Amino acid sequence: MKKFQVISLFPEMFTGVFESSMMWKAQRDEIVQLSTINLRTFGIGPRQQVDDTPYGGGDGMLLKPEPLFAAVEEAKKNDPTAKVVLMTPRGQRWKQSVAQNWSEAEHGYIFICGRYEGYDERIVSLVDEQVSVGDYVLTGGELPAMTIIDSIVRLIPGVLGGEDSAAIESFSDGETLEFPQYTKPSEYNGLAVPDVLLSGNHAAIAQWRADNSFKAE
Ligand code: ADE
């Protein structure tokens, strides 16, 4: 069972996402194990301090190295071969082909969610991969981690229902996004489903879908 562990100061952010829909089902079916580690648990002193002021001055607080090193050590105890991933806008841009590779990996993953002001650079020495979800800055790595975990888990064989809907849909061939689809009724408020889709002509339908697939950039 593939393990995804997330180190975060806000583990409660993950409950709705991990306990719903496809990710809930993947855990129920024992295909994946999703868990969070509260970084605060490894905070220092009576106030469980996790951040501190930057050397050299400047605004804001940085995540201290010791709690993060301790949290990663704990996560590695649970899953010694796991790869450590740091969520950061400075990382490699996430994309579908990487999600596919990671869904096929034998090992698990440990995600470190930073906070907006930053982290002590020494934590990079713990990390196998740095990943960004796009060229914009979020308040923390939690939403990116959820996005990335979702995109991986749904590609693991057995997670989506019987049919290979993950394989035929958007991006899977690296070039095309999915084609427009319609369900009943065949006409709604004067808006009709294209005739070819009602024709039963499978070759014509396949051609129409190919012609109407959205092209990725
Ligand atoms: N943390 C803050 N912004 C981020 C981004 N765009 N990608 C990954 N982690 C982040």
Nearest to 119 by CA among 41, 42, 43, 52: 52
With a 6 A CB cut-off, is 11 part of the ligand 1 pocket?
A: no
Cα(61)–Cα(116) distance, integer angstroms: 9
With a 6 A CB cut-off, is 55 part of the ligand 1 pocket?
A: no
Hey, whose CA ends up nearest to atom 7 of ligand 1? 132
Looking from the CA of residue 135, the nearest atom of ligand 1 is 6
State the fold for domain 2-153: Alpha/beta knot (3.40.1280)
Nearest to 72 by CA among 15, 110, 109: 110
With a 6 A CB cut-off, is 137 part of the ligand 1 pocket?
A: yes
The residues near 60 (Cβ < 8 Å, ≥ 6 apart) are: 54, 117, 118
- Is it true that domain 176-215 has CATH number 2.130.10.10? no
Looking from the CA of residue 114, the nearest atom of ligand 1 is 1
Per residue, what are the HEC states of the chain? CEEEEEEECCHHHHHHHHCCHHHHHHHHCCCEEEEEEEHHHHCECCCCECEECCCCCCCCCEECHHHHHHHHHHHHHHCCCCEEEEEEEEEEECCHHHHHHHHHCCCCEEEEECECCCECHHHHHHCCEEEECCCCCCCECHHHHHHHHHHHHCCCCCCCCCCCHHHHCCCCCCCECCCCCCCCCCEECCEECCHHHHCCCHHHHHHHHHHHCCECC
Cβ-in-10-Å burial (0-12, 13-18, 19+) of 179 comes to middle
Pocket test residue of 95, 119, 130, 132 for ligand 1, highest count of atoms within 8 A of CB:
132
With a 6 A CB cut-off, is 8 part of the ligand 1 pocket?
A: no
Long-range contacts at 26-30 (CB < 8 A, ≥ 24 apart): 26/153, 26/156, 26/159, 29/158, 29/159, 30/1
Domain boundaries, the chain: 2-153, 176-215
> Which residue reads 């593939």 in tokens?
2
With a 6 A CB cut-off, is 132 part of the ligand 1 pocket?
A: yes
105-137 pLDDT, tens per residue? 999 999 999 987 899 999 999 999 999 999 999
pLDDT exceeds 80 at position 172: no
Determine phi and psi for 126, rounding to 5 degrees. Answer: -85, -10
- On whether the CB atoms of residues 82 and 96 are closer than 8 A, the answer is no
Hey, whose CA ends up nearest to atom 2 of ligand 1? 138
The residues near 45 (Cβ < 8 Å, ≥ 6 apart) are: none
pLDDT (0 to 100) of residue 217: 57
With a 6 A CB cut-off, is 5 part of the ligand 1 pocket?
A: no
pLDDT (0 to 100) of residue 171: 56
pLDDT (0 to 100) of residue 145: 98
Is residue 80 very low, low, confident or very high in pLDDT (cuts 50, 70, 90)? very high
Looking from the CA of residue 116, the nearest atom of ligand 1 is 2
Mean pLDDT of 62-70: 98
CA of 118 to the centre of ligand 1 (A): 11
Q: Is the pTM of this model over 0.85?
A: yes
